[in-house]
Structure 1
């Protein structure tokens, strides 16, 4: 459709007014388009030709609103690094309306009631990171928010230094967070909490609308989705970096891309957020934090469901997570059969990768072509014996299953990506973008949409992370 034919709805505004605050976007100075996502435009019924127009740039800049748009910021609370903050909210995101069940937000469009002395802006580096990574996670088959477009500008924004302002128009089937429920529970606004729960069920779990014990079953679904999401993150080597409850999606989506990272060399204890001094959100601790955050949500829902019932549901989390993680790891290793010692087998592998400081993504891609010749795998680490020891066990496992090499290899190549968007790759895109060259943004977007293909023109990004760029920590403003 053309822009003048698109009509937005605003279902969130049917909730009590305590849930949001109306606010108008503040456009950036001299905006220009950096990139637009044709696939997301299609989901929104936008004609591809519209993405190249000045009207589209004005739309992403918040200077042009579509029919039916009623802009607002959402209110929520959250546990940040384990400490409860009773009032947070969309400090730099403004909701502009809904199309086809996807809610659009302008991230970086100016101050809101919840900016907490912030400027409500986003800078180019953080916007590029979110735009590319949300599409990369989608390309990997992991539930995530997405983005329609990113614009740059001549607008000056101060962080550690003066930078250029940017806006990402991001979309999601839900922006409701664990912390949204915590906000109303803390304020003892139980009618609003119930209305939010009903809204969430209708939006994200419509099959629960007319069932008995719907609030208990809502929590059951969130536990299942969170366990699955944590297993997917761990299997692919993704670190979120700031798993506060206000950054946890009630719909089981990867939400809010800040100081995230994909593992370079495997390190169970890796920390990607330099604010996280005690490693609360380290790579290996993410599944535990998923449980901790669900426990906080359980407390928030206890006015709707007896806590004993919620607790019994939460007790299923560990088994749900472990079962999904083992399933994903078997696929990564090309294994069909479930064995009692699978967990020990995978721990042996991960311990080997950690001992040898092996690149996580490269190892599994290399293993996808393993047919008995260990040369390429042994080259990944300085010492050969630990890898040989594990491969001895792996060879025995493969022999027991008798799956033809070509079948196993084809499955593994579809499961183990050749490319993930590591931080050094994103930094190259950012460095060039800050000089007005967006070619690397274009290249990485192409990789993000299809990370399992060979892309010979991008081969330089398929190897080990250069030593000087490994395991860099980033800030929450990243």
Structure 2
């Protein structure tokens, strides 16, 4: 099946126009293909080489429509940095339609009713980050939107400086956000809250159909899925940067990659978004932010779900789900197959030691995956050796109680502790080359993003240590 032969449907357009605006994309000038993910294409049933599809660029550029496509932008509201921001919506994203349970969307495709003071565009810099991060999170086993293709252009776009425009073709089982419900509630469209909830159940939670208290059970699934995703973020050192309610997907997957970062040195208080001057969405603050957002959603849904019952679900489900998922992942990352009474304190002590040692988070776990009681390989990458020196003594005693052989433990740990992470300094290097029309590094990063646990001996340069000047840098929201 060729991509250009796909036939889409548009079930979201069965709603009233308050939910969306029909709008055509505005094509970029002189578009060209930068990269395409065959892995993402498989979700659509596409098995032919995307790069050989002569219509791919025109479709991503919005110049050609797939059969059945009716293009539209979705309306939503949201809390931004804790304050309700009113109507927002897809200001530069245009939806194409749906196939195989995936909704196709162009990001950077031009003005919509919801563009506000924006230009409806996305620049090459941020589009490369969105494209690669989407596929990298999938490679790490974290629920996420996907990215099928990235095109560049000769269109000039004004940000802090003039940059070139680009478009990413994104995929997701749903584009409904917490903020979609917030919009309907805030503007008194309470009857449409139930309509949207029914749509969400059809699209994301069809197994709930026929259940009693179906909307409460829907909310419980949203809570559970969100807690699971946040636990996975924390385990790999991912900082989203903009956890506004309009950036929270209703099925719990990661959505909207702006000023994100993967930790360099382990710093629980790291804030990757330079706009976030209060540190609301710091790395360690993401758990609390997710809980707060879920509470805002519960309040929004109160016309169709008793708020008291929603709060009970939130209190009973979020923290327990988060802690269970996070703990299990951390045990796996440490190579623990059995459970001992002090294992939780062992990983909490490890995190404290990492915070005091000044050590690369990802590199630590990759080296721990080959630990054989010789501490020097790990301690040599610390600024402050003492905290981890003491912790490794405790760890050595603990793994002696495991039945696995050293080789078996190493194999299992290497399968859960990635070697390749999209560090910002590596991304910036790829972006710099792309600005010179060299996209080789973008495609190299795509390869390791989709298989981050493999060795890729020919791509060792993509996991080089972060230069001191580039460690845990902050990024702007400008894109």
Is 1:349 the counterpart of 2:332? The answer is no
Partner of 2:103: 103
- The residue aligned with 1:424 is 425
Q: Which residue does the alignment assign to 2:330? A: 329
Unaligned runs of 5+ in 1: none
Tell me, yes or no, if the aligned pair for 1:90 and 1:114 is still in contact at 8 Å.
Answer: yes
Q: Is residue 467 of structure 2 the alignment partner of residue 476 of structure 1?
A: no
Tell me whether 1:398 sits opposite 2:399 in the alignment: yes
Q: d(CA) in 1 for partners of 2:343 and 2:282?
A: 24
Cα drift, residue 37 of structure 1 = 1.1
Inter-partner Cα distance in structure 1 for 2:269 and 2:4? 51
Deviations 1:243-280 (A, max 9, x none): 00000011111100000000000000001000000100
* Partner Cα separation in structure 1 for residue 88 and residue 340 of structure 2: 46
> Which residue number in structure 1 is paired with residue 456 of structure 2?
455
The reply on whether 1:43 has 2:43 as its aligned counterpart is yes
Whether 1:184 and 2:172 are equivalent positions in the alignment is no
Q: Say whether the 8 Å CA contact 1:362–1:463 is kept in structure 2.
A: no
Write out aligned runs for 1:99-178 (5 A).
99-178=99-178
Q: Greater CA deviation, 163-172 or 454-463?
A: 454-463
Offset at 1:58? 0.5
Structure 1 position 186, deviation (Å) = 1.1
Contact 1:132 1:444 in 2 (8 A): yes
Question: 1:164-221 CA distances to partner (integer Å, 9 max, x unpaired)?
Answer: 1100000100101111111111112112110100000110010012111110000100
Give the secondary-structure state (helix, strand or coil) at the position aligned to 1:95. Answer: strand
CA 1:4–1:108 in structure 2 vs 1: closer, same or farther (change >3 Å)?
A: closer
1:13-412 aligned at under 5 Å gives the runs: 13-49=13-49, 51-316=51-316, 317-412=318-413
Q: Is the Cα contact below 8 Å between 1:42 and 1:48 reproduced in 2?
A: no
CA distance in 1, matches of 2:219, 2:162: 44
Check the 8 A contact 1:326/1:342 in 2, yes or no.
no
> What TM-score do you get using the length of structure 2 for normalisation?
0.98
Q: Partners of 1:339 and 1:243 in 2: how far apart?
A: 35
Is contact 2:36–2:50 with CA below 8 Å preserved after alignment?
Answer: no
How far apart are residue 47 of structure 1 and its match?
4.7
- CA–CA separation in structure 2 for the residues paired with 1:329 and 1:2: 41
Q: Is the 8 A contact 2:78 2:245 kept in 1?
A: yes
Residue aligned with 2:284, SS: helix
Q: 2:357 touches 2:386 (CA, 8 Å); kept in 1? A: no
Taking the aligned partners of 1:258 and 1:50, their CA distance within structure 2 comes to 26
CA distance in 1, matches of 2:19, 2:430: 37
Deviation at 1:49, TM superposition (A): 4.0
Question: How big is the shift at 1:410?
Answer: 0.8
8 Å contact kept, 2:139–2:452: yes
Name the CA distance, whole Å, in 2 between partners of 1:4 and 1:381.
51
Aligned partners of 1:189, 1:198: CA distance in 2, in Å?
A: 15
Is 1:20–1:73's contact at 8 Å kept on the other side of the alignment?
yes
By how many angstroms is 1:340 displaced? 3.9
Using the TM superposition, give the Cα deviation of residue 337 of structure 1 relative to its aligned residue in structure 2, in angstroms: 2.5
1:4 Cα shift? 6.0
Q: Secondary structure at the match of 1:103?
A: strand
Indicate the larger mover: 451-460 or 151-160: 451-460
Q: CA RMSD in A?
A: 1.2
Q: Which runs of 5+ in 2 are unaligned?
A: none
- After superposition, the Cα gap between the structure-2 partners of 1:18 and 1:364, relative to the gap in structure 1 and judged at 3 Å, is same
